[in-house]
Amino acid sequence: MIDIKKLREDPTPYRENAKKKFQDPEVIDKVLSLDESWRQVKNDIDQKRAERNKVSQEINTLKKEGKNADAQLSRAKEIPQELKELEEKEQSVKEERDRLLKDIPNIMHPDVPLGKDDSQNVEQERFGPEAVSKEVKAHQIAAEDLGVADFESSATTSGTGFYYIEGDLALLNQALIRYGVDTMYKKGFRYVETPLMLRGHVVQNVVDLGDQENQIYKIEGEDLYLIGTSEHSLIGRFVGRTVKENQLPIKQTSYSMCFRREKGSHGLDERGLFRTHQFNKVEMVVICKPEDSMKHFKELQDITVEIFTGLGLPTRVLKICSGDLGNLKHIQVDVEVWSPRRNEFIEVGSCSNLTDAQARGLGIKADNGKDRYTPHTLNNTAIATSRALVAILENYQNEDGSITVPEVLRPYMHGIEKIESQK
């Protein structure tokens, strides 16, 4: 959520920003109109309360003087209902203003490339070994042929978008989790395990509306939602809290199971590990002073690059263009790794700086002893293991169908160096 005070002072940058995102800036005028109405109603409430106090004083004075106060008493009975109606109107206008305020996108960083959709995202840099095209089995087929995955049973028990993995592939999944957590710990992030469900008011302020409608599962009959990432519960923990500036930056990491509806998958993606409704992820978040957020943005993306190049995978960083950038975000890059089967890079992580937009919606403040201000928040994927497994099953696939275990994961694999047939 943007700062309504800054919007009042000068709406021009917000209008220009919306146009760069190929959005209609008309919502800005609606918000400003509602804000003006809200301030007018607030003024009416203040005047009504002043009138109430004045009438009360007149009644007391007239009674002391032994004079008739019937007119004032009659007016005193009318004011509470009028005040109630004004307060209800004030609340209604404020709620509508704040709802629309969420539709005004955060001001973008100058480095965000202009573009209408994801086809206009821009490659920033490549890392690790060279991306090489080669004929390989699709990861689903490779895993099933080795007897370490069962997608038919999961389709029967749970539907498409779920999976059973077992044997050495399940161990490899756990190795990726431990590798991700250990990397984050060594980088100085505090490890936290979080709730897997959140209340609605938290979800509404940590998730873009489009993602909430298309990705997040709601628990029927409850004001609870399954998390799509532990970022939601890590940052949601600070709702309404004020942190001391000397505690900043707050750097936390978490492993969790994540749940997403993942609408729009098709073909092979309906079966396998690439697009799933349930997956494992190690996430990271930072709460920091505003002047430090771009420094941490670079730090976070570098960690994910280090994780995937450590796995020996061709890796690149992709700048997300203006039209593909979520409204809460100031700037975002995706980290991608090479898929030989697709002959293209696939997303494995997303790193975002949300400046003060997310923290403002959640009521998070920082206190430096003199002033209270809204800190900046950032989040990034350390490793989503299902996507990493897809990349390993393709890039480390041998001619006989076996899968070589990346060297960095072997300490977590009980000495296993290659996944061979376990049928």
Q: How many Cα atoms occupy the beta-carbon half-sphere of 175 within 13 Å?
A: 23
- Interval 27-46 mean pLDDT: 95
Mean pLDDT of 357-376: 94
Residue with tokens 């047939």: 421
Instruction: Tell me which residue of 284, 118, 102 sits closest to 208, measured CA to CA.
Output: 102
In a shared domain, residues 84 and 144: no
What pLDDT is stored for residue 274 in this prediction?
86
- pLDDT value at residue 272: 83
Neighbours of 12 (CB within 10 A): 9
- Write down the pLDDT at residue 263: 59
Question: Can you give the pLDDT at residue 268?
Answer: 47
Residues 44-94 pLDDT 10s: 999 999 999 999 999 999 999 999 989 999 999 999 999 999 999 999 999
Name the 3-class secondary structure at 279.
strand
Domain coverage including residue 388:
118-419
Predicted confidence at residue 408, as pLDDT, reads: 97
In terms of domains, do 89 and 171 share one? no
The model's pTM: 0.88
Regarding whether 286 and 151 lie in a shared domain, the answer is: yes
Return the structure tokens found at 30.
């609606």
Assign residue 88 the CATH number of its domain. 1.10.287.40
pLDDT at position 275, please? 84
What is the distance between the alpha carbons of residues 334 and 106, in angstroms, rounded to a whole number? Answer: 18
Q: pLDDT, tens digit, for every residue of 305-315?
A: 999 999 999 99
93 lies in the same domain as 189: no
The pLDDT of residue 264 is above 60: no
Please indicate, yes or no, if residue 106 is contained in any of the structural domains. no
Say how far apart CA 217 and CA 137 lie, in whole Å.
Answer: 33
Q: Which residues contact 288 (CB under 8 A, 6 or more apart)?
A: 248, 249, 250, 296, 375, 376, 377, 378
pLDDT at 395 over 70: yes
- The reply to whether 82 and 179 lie within a common domain is no
Is 267 in the same domain as 156? yes
Least confident of 92-96, 158-162, 284-288, 368-372: 158-162
The reply to whether 370 falls in a domain is yes
How many Cβ atoms sit within 10 Å of the Cβ of residue 270?
17
Task: Say if residue 242 is in the same domain as residue 388.
Answer: yes
* pLDDT surpassing 70 at residue 117: yes
- Indicate the range of 19-33, 148-162, 212-226 predicted with least confidence: 212-226
CATH of residue 278? 3.30.930.10
Structural domains in the chain (count): 2
- Verify that 12 and 56 share a domain, yes or no: yes
Q: What is the pLDDT of residue 271?
A: 78
**Segment 288-304 mean pLDDT:** 97
Last residue of a domain, one of 101, 133, 155: 101
Please tell me whether residues 138 and 19 are part of one structural domain: no
**350 lies in some domain:** yes
271 and 375 inside one domain: yes
Contact 315, 128 (CB under 8 A): yes
Same domain, yes or no: 267 and 217? yes
Residues 402-415: pLDDT tens digits? 999 999 999 999 98
DSSP type of residue 321? P
Q: Which of 101, 133, 154 is the last residue of a domain?
A: 101
Q: What share of the chain has pLDDT > 70, as a percent?
A: 96
Does the residue 108 lie in any domain? no
Contacts of residue 243, Cβ cutoff 8 Å, sequence gap at least 6: 250, 287, 364, 365, 366, 367, 375
pLDDT of 15 > 70? The answer is yes
SS (H, E, C) 89-148: HHHHHHHHHHHHHCCCCCCCCCCCCCCCCHHHCEEEEEECCCCCCCCCCCHHHHHHHHCC
Examine residue 107 and state whether it is found in any structural domain, yes or no.
no
Tokens of 63: 């009674």
The per-residue pLDDT for 293 is 97
